[in-house]
Amino acid sequence: MIKINENYKKLQASYLFSDIAKRVSSFQEANPDKDIIRLGIGDVTRALPEACVKAFHAAVDEMAADATFHGYGPEQGYDFLRQAIAEGDYQSRGCNIATDEVFVSDGAKCDSGNFQEIFADDVRVAIPDPVYPVYVDTNVMAGRTGAAENGRYTGLTYLDGTKANGFIPALPTEPVDLIYLCFPNNPTGATATKAQLKQWVDYAKQNKALILFDAAYEAFVQDPDLPRSIFEIEGAREVAVEFRSFSKNAGFTGTRCAYTVVPKDCTAYTEAGEPVSIHELWNRRHTTKFNSVSYPVQKAAAAVYTAEGQAQVAELVAYYMKNAKYIREQIENLGYDCIGGENSPYIWIDAKGDSWDFFDTLLNNAGVVCTPGAGFGKCGEGYIRISAFNSFENVQQAMERVKASL
Amino acid sequence: MIKINENYKKLQASYLFSDIAKRVSSFQEANPDKDIIRLGIGDVTRALPEACVKAFHAAVDEMAADATFHGYGPEQGYDFLRQAIAEGDYQSRGCNIATDEVFVSDGAKCDSGNFQEIFADDVRVAIPDPVYPVYVDTNVMAGRTGAAENGRYTGLTYLDGTKANGFIPALPTEPVDLIYLCFPNNPTGATATKAQLKQWVDYAKQNKALILFDAAYEAFVQDPDLPRSIFEIEGAREVAVEFRSFSKNAGFTGTRCAYTVVPKDCTAYTEAGEPVSIHELWNRRHTTKFNSVSYPVQKAAAAVYTAEGQAQVAELVAYYMKNAKYIREQIENLGYDCIGGENSPYIWIDAKGDSWDFFDTLLNNAGVVCTPGAGFGKCGEGYIRISAFNSFENVQQAMERVKASL
């Protein structure tokens, strides 16, 4: 008899986005003449940078002739892209990361979901709350939790983000082995300082723990004193892995390219305490279960690192950050407390009450869609997230309507 | 302390392709003026079909303008592609497969490696030998085996393919729950008849087992009486999942697009024996850990199903099959027993001795690279695989040289 992975039965059905969709479509049916402005999901809206489009087309042309055709590439990604990443995102910023420490992939979602596979079933996992739900769900599937009780899985260590700590969680008080961190944070937009990250790196070194650092939103950091990579912190090469993506900076959400940096100094341990290279473990996993990213997509991603590409990505980021700043100002002027929007495309708003009530008010009175914070964990209750990914015109109109309706 | 998944320690290092690479480079160093013809790995060599190139470019152009830009798509793939697959590959051939039973992915390697995750750790697994190594390795990583002994993992049921059974394994004599089958087979090129597949479907129904059917090479089936899908077999909707790919028919090895068909009638069971929909389980896994395939790549894949695309894919397949027929004839004329090459791009040759000795003879005397069968499992020892994926001119020259050297 073919038996299921019983851990899947523990998964709480995520009604968040289907609930949102239902409420939006009910509103549209009742108000067919009203147009809706979507500031809910974190999906970019502007075209790919011209440099990427040019490189994309050129690579498709290579695939169109036998003499320049590319079949299977290296599973870890082509060196032209791995090297551009190592130099452009790390070495140029003083981080000691080598080309062969970069693993190209089709998404930070996949990597952040898959990375836990190479560790033991009984490692103790710490996950921030509120946060991107993939970290929790993939550990539930792997059997590292008990059942859910009051919206939280037993066996997980939740790292609470609250107004009191500025949504920068404190170190855990119980021992943990695998720590997920995400800065700039999704959904709160909170960003950790170097001193704050240093505490985590030190904790990991003292406890032989590993940090999985999700830096998918690093491009939106404006403050030059804030770290954009965990590898700006001394000692991180021994205890941290970093996930990055072209989704948000270069608009690759529908084009699909990302990467994970696994330093060769990162160590895990056998049951008997012998050190094992995490780089080697991940390389084995990656080459066995993955076959790299489309060649034309890798060429398009590499164009991000040309002078033209860098200028175009900077322009895209600046565009969305103008939206973010505007949203935060307008919402604060209405008397609501916000964080985020300064070094992040997300604005996290204290709803002064129930997440879903505030969602309904914005939808029904202003025709604006946001995301209720409760969907990101227990600590997200009472908050909503507004995304800056839309046109400035739509953002302006949305804020006018919100002002008139609150 | 961050502990590793101890199952990774059981994995046998695969020296096959690195051994091949080492021997090839030694030969090249010793013979710098000799050119080598590679008929080893199963990678296509000819350009993408024109219809795919055209659609690929058009979709990149859509990504270049805000008004037509595509961000995140549905995790299961766009309906335009899922529907083209369901109609073009199944409904048109009398198989009852619906659009929402098709899950688009970035590779059959990934899907065939990941699918086991949704089942219990203690399901009993049956895997053919010789076969594509990913099925075995991913089950080792998941902890479904003991250590390796004499080249085989304890706890797995190996389904022996031998000259006596024409490399079509017999049903297992011990009970199993999860069965991997691959026809046309990689590496042997053997192809199962409908009657043979019917036995497996009946076995699965009687034993509440599930068949994972890898049909990555179905496009090469020439005999109209041979099945190209497990879903041509009555009852398969209840007990089978099928992996397919655009890699070999349309030359997508470097472009990356594949799909998995999971019928809604497929059932697995809880520990307590309650039925659970495998379609729902896989949907949960797929949407949690994957974010779909690049939009331009999906558009390129959909072009395979246009009239122009179908004609171009047929031409590509015919080209490689002309090579396959030629290779088999030439090798048989030299007095070697072969299977494959008739409904498959692979020719599996009885080396009349050690795989590696034969490999060395072909490399050193003819400058031709093949793949030693031992790399595909214990039953592959004594055989070599020759691939038809190259230009006809290279294949002709390779066979002339082989003739002169044996």
What ipTM is given for this predicted complex?
0.97
Contact A72 B254 (CB under 8 A): yes
- Cβ distance of A4 and B270 shorter than 8 Å: yes
Q: Tell me which chain A residues have a C-beta less than 8 angstroms from the C-beta of B251.
A: 69, 71
At residue A56, the 3 state secondary structure works out as helix
Show residues of chain B in contact with A291, CB under 8 Å: 106-107, 109-110, 256
B53 interaction partners in chain A (CB closer than 8 Å): 60-61, 63-64
Give pLDDT, residue A21. Answer: 86
| Architecture per CATH, B70-306 | 3-Layer(aba) Sandwich (3.40)
Contact B177 A1 (CB under 8 A): yes
Which of A4, A46, A292 best tests the B interface by mutation, with the highest count of B CBs <10 A?
A4
A50: contact with B, CB 8 A cutoff:
yes
Tell me the torsion sign for CA atoms B52, B74, A131, B119: negative
CATH fold for the domain made of A6-47+308-405: Aspartate Aminotransferase, domain 1 (3.90.1150)
Domain A52-306 has CATH 3.40.640.10: yes
pLDDT of amino acid A17: 77
Residue A50 · residue A312 · CB < 8 Å: yes
Nearest to A6 among B44, B271, B297 (CB): B271
Give me the residue from B271, B294, B391 closest to A256, CB to CB.
B294
Helix, strand, or coil (residue B25): helix
Contact between residue B76 and residue B292 where contact means Cβ atoms under 8 Å apart: yes
Comparing B10-24, B39-53, B200-214, the range with the smallest average pLDDT is B10-24
Distance CA A105, CA A381 (A): 33
Residues of chain A positioned with their CB less than 8 A from the CB of B73 = 254
Helix orientation angle between A278-289 and B134-141, rounded to the nearest 10 degrees = 140
Residue B13 has pLDDT above 80, yes or no: no
Any A CB within 8 A of B304 CB: no
Chain A residues within an 8 Å CB radius of B269: 1-4
Residue B292 Ramachandran class (φ > 0 left, ψ -120 to 50 alpha, else beta): left
Nearest-by-Cβ selection for B47 from A64, A113, A281: A64
CB pairs under 8 A between A and B: 244
Contact B304, B313 (CB under 8 A): yes
Interface check for B40 against chain A (CB to CB < 8 A): the answer is no
The bridge status of strand B368-369 relative to strand B371-372 is unpaired
- Put simply, the chain A residues between 88 and 147 with a CB less than 8 A from any chain B CB are 106-107, 109-110, 113-114, 117-123, 134, 137-138, 141
- Mark yes or no for CB contact B66/A48 under 8 Å: no
Asked if A5 reaches chain B (Cβ–Cβ under 8 Å), the answer is yes
Positions of CATH 3.90.1150.10 in chain B: 6-47+308-405
Backbone angles phi, psi at B383, to 5 degrees: -130, 160
Interface check A298 vs B, CB under 8 A: no
The pLDDT of residue B151 is above 80 = yes
The DSSP output letter for A216 is T
Judged by CB atoms closer than 8 Å, whether chains meet at A289 and B114 is answered as yes
Chain B residues whose CB is inside 8 A of the A73 CB are 254
- With contact defined as beta carbons under 8 Å apart, do A58 and A306 qualify? no
Q: Tell me the average pLDDT across B349-365.
A: 96
Residue A15 pLDDT: 67
Closest CA to B202 of B243, B174, B225, B171: B171
Instruction: Return the number of other C-beta atoms located less than 10 Å from residue A146's C-beta.
Output: 12
Nearest CA distance, A342 vs chain B (angstrom): 24
Q: Is B53 on the interface with A (CB under 8 A)?
A: yes
Above 70 in pLDDT, residue B15? Answer: no
Among candidate residues A242, A172, A179, the one with its CA nearest the CA of residue A208: A179
Pinpoint the residues of chain B covered by CATH 3.40.640.10. Answer: 70-306
Structure tokens at B222: 């020439």
CB contact under 8 A, A269 and B209: no
The residues of chain A that CATH labels 3.40.640.10 are: 52-306
Q: What Rg do the C-alpha atoms of chain B give, in angstroms?
A: 21
Residues of A in contact with B178 (CB under 8 A): 2
Dig out the tokens for B274 from the structure: 């309650």
Strand runs labelled E in B30-94? 37-38
- What is the rounded distance in angstroms from the CA atom of residue A318 to the CA atom of residue B14? 48
Is B254 an interface residue toward A (CB < 8 Å)? yes
Q: Residue B318: which residues within 8 A CB-CB, separation 6 or more?
A: none
Query: Amino acid letter at A124?
Result: R
Spell out which residues of chain A touch residue B120, defining contact as CB-CB under 8 Å: 3-6
d(CA A316, CA A252): 12
Phi, psi (degrees; rounded to nearest 5) at A22: -65, -45
Q: Reply yes or no on whether the pLDDT at B116 is more than 90.
A: yes
Q: Is A210 on the interface with B (CB under 8 A)?
A: yes
B61: nearest CA in chain A?
A53
- Calpha distance B78→B81 (Å, rounded): 6
Q: Count of alpha carbons within 13 Å of A280, Cβ hemisphere only?
A: 13
Q: Which of A4, A276, A296 sits opposite B118 (nearest CB)?
A: A4
Alpha-carbon span A377 to A380, nearest angstrom? 5
Cα–Cα distances in angstroms (integers) from residue B103 to residues B74, B178, B239, in the given order: 10, 20, 17
**B199: pLDDT strictly greater than 70:** yes
What is the residue-level pLDDT of chain A in tens, covering all 406 positions? 999 999 999 998 776 777 888 899 999 999 999 999 999 988 999 999 999 999 999 999 999 999 999 999 999 999 999 999 999 999 999 999 999 999 999 999 999 999 999 999 999 999 999 999 999 999 999 999 999 998 899 999 999 999 999 999 999 999 999 999 999 999 999 999 999 999 999 999 999 999 999 999 999 999 999 999 999 999 999 999 999 999 999 999 999 999 999 999 999 999 999 999 999 999 999 999 999 999 999 999 999 999 999 999 999 999 999 999 999 999 999 999 999 999 999 999 999 999 999 999 999 999 999 999 999 999 999 999 999 999 999 999 999 999 999 8
pLDDT at A18: 79
- A122 contacts on B by Cβ (under 8 Å): 3
B140 token code pair: 């080792």
Q: What is the DSSP letter of B47?
A: P
CA distances for A75 relative to A71, B253, B268, B362, angstroms: 12, 12, 32, 28
Contacts of B337 (CB under 8 A, 6+ apart): B163, B349, B350
Contacts of A9 in chain B (CB under 8 A): 270
Place of tokens 């026809």: B183
**B43 contact residues in A (CB cutoff 8 A):** 71-72
Instruction: Please tell me if residue B41 touches chain A, with a CB cutoff of 8 Å.
Output: yes
How many angstroms separate the CA of residue B357 from the nearest CA in chain A? 27
A224 touches chain B (CB under 8 A): no
Pairing of strands A210-214, A240-245: parallel
- Please answer yes or no on whether B109 and A290 come within 8 Å at the CB atom: yes
Chain A CB contacts of B284 under 8 Å are 8, 11
Q: Which parts of A145-184 are beta strand (E)?
A: 148-149, 152-153, 157-160, 178-182
Kind plus residue range of the DSSP H or E element containing A211: strand A210-214
Tens-digit pLDDT profile for residues B30-50: 999 999 999 998 899 999 999
